[in-house]
Amino acid sequence: MHLASDFSLLDFTQPVRLIVTRSDGRQEIALNQALPRPSRRSEADRGAVVLLDERIDWLLPADALPTGVEPQPADEIVAGDVVWTIVSTERRVAGTVWRCACRRRE
């Protein structure tokens, strides 16, 4: 079983748009099956008041991204009418999934 390809088997996936901004321009990538998860708190957050709906982790299937495109901090994920700014990323599940920690844009 290849987890990134099998996201459709998981409940609660959503279509999103990943907005990638680099020095050579801006690219919008449609992803049909992104999985929102409750945000993991970092050491920097300990003791801080953070509203639950201000942060979220998005899990993006790596094989759905164009070759050479990797989400980075300051890129954005758009889900419906809500825009999330990526604050950190990491590859998970043997590199098949990107975990993007996000903050809701005001």
Please, what are the domains in the chain? 7-104 (2.40.10)
Residue 2 reports pLDDT greater than 50 = yes
Left, alpha or beta for 7 (phi > 0: left; psi -120 to 50: alpha)? Answer: alpha
**What integer pLDDT is reported at residue 9 of this predicted model?**
47
Mean pLDDT, rounded, for 27-55: 74
CB 99 within 8 A of CB 90: yes
> What pLDDT score was predicted for residue 93?
84
pLDDT in tens, 96-106: 999 999 999 97
Report whether pLDDT(62) > 50.
Answer: yes
pLDDT tier, 1 (very low <50, low <70, confident <90, very high otherwise): very low
